[in-house]
Amino acid sequence: MIYLDNNATTKIDEHVLEAMMPYFQEEYANPSSIYGFSKKASDAIKEARGVIKDFINAKDEKEIIFTSCGSESANTAIKGVLTYNKSQKHIITTKVEHPCVLNLYQTLEKQGYKVDYIGVNSDGDLDLEELEAKITADTALVSVMWANNETGVIFPIKKISEIIKSKNKETKFFVDAVQAAGKIPIDVQENGIDLLGISGHKFHAPKGIGALYVNSKTLITPLIVGGHQERGKRAGTENVPYIAGLAKAAELAQDGLKYEATEVKRLRDKLESNLLKNIYNSRLNTGVSNRVPNTTNIGFEYVEGELILLHMSDLGICASSGSACTSGSLEPSHVLRAMNVPFTAIHGSIRFSLSKYTTEKEIDYVTEKMPEIIQKITAISPYQDELAELKKHKIANGRY
Amino acid sequence: MWDYSEKVIEHYRNPKNVGKIDDADAVGKAGSLACGDQLKIYLKIKDNIVTDAKFQTFGCGSAVASSSILTEMIIGKSIEEVKKITNKDIAEQLGGLPPEKMHCSVMGYEALEDALKTWNNDNEALSDLKKPEKIVCTCFEVTENQIWDAIKQNGLKTIEEVTNYTKAGGACGKCKGIIQDIINTYQAKEQDAQKLSPTQKILKINNIIETQISPELQKDGGDINLVDIKDNKVYVKLHGKCSTCKNATLTIKRFVEQTLKTAMDEDIEVIEA
């Protein structure tokens, strides 16, 4: 099996699993208890908080809240800010956010909030002028993802934060860093971020654990109300083994950033350039630079993505598609539509996302097999005339 | 992960009858690139028998499987037999499809219907009688007739089911109100047809013939009148140009019978007296 779907989820690192194990059957105490038995559990949480603080370069451990996932982090941040300060009713976000954020904003619109969705260009880059123009005195929150899950495109977080603060100092800035964590360095102070969400299972921690950074100047109303855990910001007995696992994964990810930027990127670039060269009806759906090192999104024209994935799956290769058919919804990816990817390619778009576990041998195998798969599916397409024209054009331009 | 049947997997892995027939006697098309799936079907027809069929499909696994099995289902069959095939038959032959994928079987049915419609000139003349189709879902260009047919053939009861079978309402969702109206109208009509007394039924059929069918035939210099009704058999007589027209049987079956079926009851059979 060749797993190139690491933006969906990742394999748990063995060191992470090892770090979690003691807290299931040995040190299983509730960290809030007062007896000595609970000390190891409460120490584990304290230590983990310190590790996550360093991982994102927060100023204070108290700014870290453990959550159950990226969606909870986003919901806590967004609803938390808006509920705490009920007077402002305007939010700015982007057209390419993750559904967990977009669907929340659609719900908030029904509750009377005004939401502006900022567009992107065909490379996937955000329209910063439009963003700047939309910020008003009534803007409570600007909410932007750091890296896009489908394309890997990185938004200029520092620049966005400067724009926000120059227009309205009261406006809060939430960054969904779920796809950035573990792939590129994260520094909340340097980038002027008020709130930031991450999710463990995207960087080799298990599913079911995330974290939210809320800086000391930002006040939120908690989403989950109950006990006093997480300084009253998130009730519920702490998930000790998973918190320990998240911290271990963050530590390893921090150490592995250089490997991501060099080796993972090299393999990604190799796969990408070979597929674009060897398959005439292929196109890169993004700009070349300005992406996280592990992701490429390639559109195969006049063929459909689910069928590509099924044929890949027959060979044991896992990836994702922006096609409508894979999701059960009937529309293709909202991200690729916002980028105006042509209809000829949008339904046949495949996202390959690598990890530190991806090997050269795997990339070579996928490079060898993809042209065969695409050729097989292209042969049954009703668009043979268009395909012949495309091939002629590519050859004429020396790109095939 | 979709729960595809063995049959679906077999057909998308190794589709049968892929390709184009250059001298096809009938070509049918359904879907579009924008919508994410398109099917073209090519038929060779000799002595009223489909002697060969090929397809080209842009679409997902179940779209390819639906196309592939459809060609197998129709090769060697008479036109009369082929006409009876519905999307339900395609799905059944595949050992079932996930609910969200039923629209793939509908696409197969629509391409086949499209091919038969253009098969010969006789049929083309008839299709002129049809009113222009009203588009309900602009995102996926789904017409009122397509939704109506899907409801009728598959006994659909909810908007979600209509979306699964036709895609209508699956994108912006603005047409969901209209889809509900169509479902309501269909259900009301079904109940109506069941409740009518024999006299009411005669009056209603006569009324439809006089107000909907006769005026259309008059445009072509012909006419029609009701002779008798026995159970679900409606006996009619054609007049004027219609009585000598070589397409008379088709007119009765495709236009008169279809109009009465849509307005009244699926089981109505129209016979020339």
Q: How does pLDDT run across A197-218, given as a tens digit for each residue?
A: 999 999 999 999 999 999 999 9
Contact B20 A347 (CB under 8 A): no
For residue A399, pLDDT over 60 is answered with yes
- The alpha carbon of residue A296 is apart from the nearest alpha carbon of chain B, in Å, by 22
Q: What does the alpha-carbon distance between residue B194 and residue B178 come to, in Å, rounded to a whole number?
A: 24
For residue A244, pLDDT over 60 is answered with yes
Instruction: Note whether B39 and B29 are within 8 A (CB).
Output: yes
For residue A56, pLDDT over 70 is answered with yes
Nearest CA to B157 out of B186, B129, B196 is that of: B186
What pLDDT does B128 receive? 46
CB B58: neighbour CB atoms within 10 A?
Answer: 28
Q: What does the alpha-carbon distance between residue A134 and residue A84 come to, in Å, rounded to a whole number?
A: 22
Suggest the residue from B60, B71, B175 to mutate for an interface test with chain A (most A CBs closer than 10 A). B60
Find tokens 């890169």 and name the residue.
A284
Nearest CA to B177 out of B133, B147, B152, B149 is that of: B147
pTM, two decimal places: 0.82
How wide is the angle at C-alpha A89 spanned by C-alphas A88 and A91, nearest 5°? 105
Q: How far is CA A84 from CA A81, A102, A118, B248, in A?
A: 5, 21, 25, 75
What residue type is B112 in one-letter code?
A: L
Q: Does B171 touch chain A (CB under 8 A)?
A: yes
Q: What is the mean pLDDT of chain B?
A: 87
Q: Does B8 touch chain A (CB under 8 A)?
A: no
Contact A302 B13 (CB under 8 A): no
A298-306 average pLDDT score = 96
Strand partners, B56: B40
Structure tokens at B41: 């079907």
A118-132 average pLDDT score = 97
What pLDDT does B211 receive? 86
Using a pLDDT cut of 90, give the percent of chain A over it. Answer: 95
What pLDDT does A325 receive? 67
- DSSP conformational letter for A31: T
Using a pLDDT cut of 90, give the percent of chain B over it. Answer: 47
What pLDDT does B269 receive? 87
What pLDDT does B123 receive? 53
DSSP string, A55-107: HHT-S-GGGEEEESSHHHHHHHHHHHHHHH-TT--EEEEETT--HHHHHHHHH
Mapping DSSP to helix (H, G, I), strand (E, B) and coil, where does residue A38 land? Answer: helix
- pLDDT tens digits, one per residue of B24-57: 999 999 998 888 899 999 999 999 999 999 999 9
Q: Which residues contact A26 (CB under 8 A, 6 or more apart)?
A: none
CB A8: neighbour CB atoms within 10 A?
Answer: 15
- pLDDT tens digits, one per residue of B262-273: 887 778 888 887
Residue bearing the bigger pLDDT, B198 or A357 = A357
For residue A83, pLDDT over 80 is answered with yes
Local confidence band at B183 (pLDDT 50, 70, 90 cut-offs): very high
Q: What does the alpha-carbon distance between residue A191 and residue A45 come to, in Å, rounded to a whole number?
A: 26
What pLDDT does B204 receive? 84
Contact B58 A304 (CB under 8 A): yes
Beta-strand relationship, A349-353 and A320-321: antiparallel
A237-246 average pLDDT score = 98
Backbone angles phi and psi of B38, in degrees to 5: -145, 140
Q: Which residues contact B177 (CB under 8 A, 6 or more apart)?
A: none
| Catalytic residue numbers of A, as ranges | 325
Q: What is the mean pLDDT of chain A?
A: 96
Structure tokens at B268: 């109505």
Mapping DSSP to helix (H, G, I), strand (E, B) and coil, where does residue B26 land? Answer: strand
Residue bearing the bigger pLDDT, A322 or A286 = A286
Beta-strand relationship, A295-300 and A114-118: unpaired
- DSSP conformational letter for B209: I
For residue B261, pLDDT over 80 is answered with yes
For residue A358, pLDDT over 90 is answered with yes
Chain A residues close to B63, C-beta within 8 Å: 304, 325
For residue B6, pLDDT over 70 is answered with yes
Q: Which residues contact A61 (CB under 8 A, 6 or more apart)?
A: A46, A49, A50, A53
How wide is the angle at C-alpha B92 spanned by C-alphas B89 and B96, nearest 5°? 140
CA-based diameter of chain A, in Å? 77
- The alpha carbon of residue A345 is apart from the nearest alpha carbon of chain B, in Å, by 10
What pLDDT does B32 receive? 86
What pLDDT does B132 receive? 60
What pLDDT does A208 receive? 98
Q: Does A310 touch chain B (CB under 8 A)?
A: yes
Q: Which helix (H) or strand (E) holds A305?
A: helix A305-314
Nearest CA to A322 out of A311, A336, A301 is that of: A336
Q: Does A383 touch chain B (CB under 8 A)?
A: yes
Local confidence band at B122 (pLDDT 50, 70, 90 cut-offs): very low
Q: Does A347 touch chain B (CB under 8 A)?
A: yes
Instruction: Report the range of poorest mean pLDDT among A46-50, A313-317, A358-362, B192-196.
Output: B192-196
